[in-house]
Copies of this chain bind each other. A is one copy, B any other.
């Protein structure tokens, strides 16, 4: 029988290619009797989320989407800025996972100190601020940037190469023993990066959807 549970993974930018990439990256988390995992493009979103403005642009659309989504058991906001996470949590009793938060929490179970690979330098300050908000900065090794635009990473020519370079600085210079890919939509590089670096590499959307799957399936259990 098909599961009647559903996890809605929302790509807050309007780039369908990224949504499709998410969809493929989540394939391993689909099980015959597990929750359905639906990836959805936020049509109101900008093409990419690279600034605080982009973050703010999607907050209320995300919230409206959460309000309008009745047949959903858990939400995942699939952007490493975790946009609108608190605005969404305010309107539902269903769990809402942010991929940055989930990635850091998962990394903390896999290593002593975590490193983060950001796409551009400009995001690092925002990420650190968020990490402090989460109270999770104690075991950060460092965050380093690819110094690429989202468009350049998408073209892909040198993306993996740059990721390996940044990852090596994190592990060899900064002491990270687990590395987070600080961006949605890069899942296809996860294993190659892990192989090159020799430490666990966390893909944030997979981390968040894993938590979502676990949360919804254990809620099925009967209880006295």
Residues of A within 8 A of B (CB): 25, 27-29, 31-34, 51-53, 55-57, 59-60, 63, 84, 86-87, 89-91, 95, 97, 101-102, 105-106, 108-110, 112-113, 125-126, 128-130, 132-136, 138-139, 160, 177, 187-192, 195, 200, 203, 206-207, 209-211, 213-215, 217-224
Contacts and interface: CB of A to CB of B under 8 A. Distances in A.
Contacts of A207: 214
A53 B90 contact: yes
A218 B125 contact: no
Given A29-B218, A224-B192, A110 B135 contact: no
B210 A53 contact: no
B136 A108 contact: yes
Contacts of A51: 90
A193 to B, nearest CB: 9
B224 A160 contact: yes
Oligomer copy total:
6
Contacts of A25: 221
A97 B125 contact: no
Contact of A105 (B52, B109, B135, B206): B109
A112 B131 CA distance: 13
A56 B60 contact: yes
A218 B190 contact: yes
A215 B108 CA distance: 13
B125 A177 contact: yes
A113 B189 CA distance: 33
Nearest to A108: B105
Most buried by B among A29, A86, A195: A86
A56 B34 CA distance: 34
A126 B86 CA distance: 9
Contacts of A221: 25, 27-28, 187, 190-191
